[in-house]
């Protein structure tokens, strides 16, 4: 008996799609190039127009007390600059208290908006020497020694003792005047009134 499996016809795979390896590698490279170009364009759009400079010392005083103790009416439709808190015109935001406002203007976001990085410029030897000279000129011409400090302390102690002595004398004079005034009132007062006030307790009563 003949077996039917011996003359079986092979499976035809010619209908399957054949992949071109080189073509798909080229497509993948183009896709990577497009994604990188998009990332570069986004990063350029986000970067500030001004080139970032090293961090600089603030040349103005921060106003934290001009609105202290003042009353302000705040409405929901008021612009940000007229709302309660501290308004930053650079970042166009409102910060609720002075501590957070100082953190904001010293922070990375605010400094980037000003065109500065958080890196401090390295000072040269000449800049340091110039800074020392300016500080020496600002200092008082007269030098301050330990002896001057001792003299100041001794002078303050003497002034304090003199003030205490004057206060004691004033209190003593005040008591003497009050006592003299009470004695005069007791002498001039009517006997019945003096008895009521307690001044006539030792006098002999007339019968």
Q: What is the pLDDT of residues 66-124, one digit of tens each?
A: 888 888 888 888 888 888 888 898 898 999 888 999 999 999 899 888 888 888 888 88
What pLDDT score was predicted for residue 3? 52
Query: What value does the CA radius of gyration of the chain take, rounded to a whole number of Å?
Result: 47
Asked whether residue 42 is domain-assigned, the answer is no
Q: What is the mean pLDDT of residues 52-62?
A: 82
The stretch 36-63 carries a mean pLDDT of 72
Q: Which structure tokens are listed for 50?
A: 């001004």
What pLDDT, on a 0 to 100 scale, did the predictor assign at position 100?
92
Calpha distance 74→81 (Å, rounded):
11
Is the pTM for the entire model greater than 0.85? no
Among 78, 105, 120, identify where a domain stops: 120
Residue 96 sits at φ, ψ, to 5 deg, of -80, -30
- Residues 74, 116, single domain; the answer is yes
**Same domain as 104, residue 163:** no
Same domain (yes/no): 101, 162: no
116: closest CA among 60, 53, 49, 56? 53
Q: What is the mean pLDDT of the chain?
A: 77
pLDDT for the residue 104? 92
Confidence (pLDDT) at 162? 92
Among 117, 71, 110, 56, CA closest to 87 = 110
**The pLDDT of residue 190:** 61
Number of domains present in the structure of the chain: 2
| Within a domain: 13 | no
Mean pLDDT of 16-44: 75
The answer to the question of residue 198 being in a domain is no
Q: Are residues 101 and 155 in the same domain?
A: no
pLDDT greater than 60 at residue 181: yes
Same structural domain, 55 and 96: yes
Residue 157 structural domain: 146-182
Examine residue 141 and state whether it is found in any structural domain, yes or no: no
For residues 105 and 91, the answer to whether their CB atoms sit within 8 Å is no
- Which span out of 31-40, 79-88, 94-103, 189-198 was modeled with the highest average pLDDT? 94-103
Residue 71 has what pLDDT?
83
Of residues 85 and 138, more confidence is placed in 85
Q: How many CB atoms lie within 10 A of CB 86?
A: 20
Q: No. of H helices and E strands in the chain? A: 6, 4
| Residue 95 exposed, middle or buried by CB count within 10 Å (0-12, 13-18, 19+) | middle
Does residue 36 lie within any of the structural domains?
Answer: no
Is the pLDDT score of 205 beyond 70? no
55 lies in some domain = yes
Q: Is residue 155 part of a domain?
A: yes
- Whether 54 and 116 share a structural domain: yes
| 27 inside domain | no
């Amino acid at each position: 008996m003949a077996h039917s499996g011996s003359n079986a016809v092979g499976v035809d795979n010619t209908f399957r799609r054949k992949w071109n390896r080189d073509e798909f590698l080229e497509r993948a490279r183009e896709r990577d190039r497009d994604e990188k170009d998009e990332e570069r364009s986004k990063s350029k759009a986000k970067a500030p127009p001004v080139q970032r400079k090293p961090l600089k010392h603030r040349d103005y005083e921060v106003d934290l007390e001009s609105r202290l103790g003042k009353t302000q009416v705040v409405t929901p439709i008021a612009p940000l600059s007229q709302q309660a808190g501290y308004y930053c015109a650079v970042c166009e935001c409102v910060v609720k208290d002075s501590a957070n406002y100082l953190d904001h203007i010293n922070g990375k976001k605010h400094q980037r908006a000003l065109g500065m990085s958080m890196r401090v410029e390295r000072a040269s030897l000449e800049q340091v020497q110039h800074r020392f000279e300016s500080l020496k000129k600002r200092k008082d011409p007269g030098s301050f020694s330990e002896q001057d400090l001792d003299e100041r302390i001794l002078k303050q102690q003497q002034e304090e003792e003199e003030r205490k002595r004057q206060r004691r004398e004033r209190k003593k004079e005040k008591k003497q005047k009050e006592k003299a005034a009470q004695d005069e009132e007791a002498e001039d007062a009517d006997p019945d009134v003096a008895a009521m006030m307690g001044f006539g307790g030792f006098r002999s009563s007339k019968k």
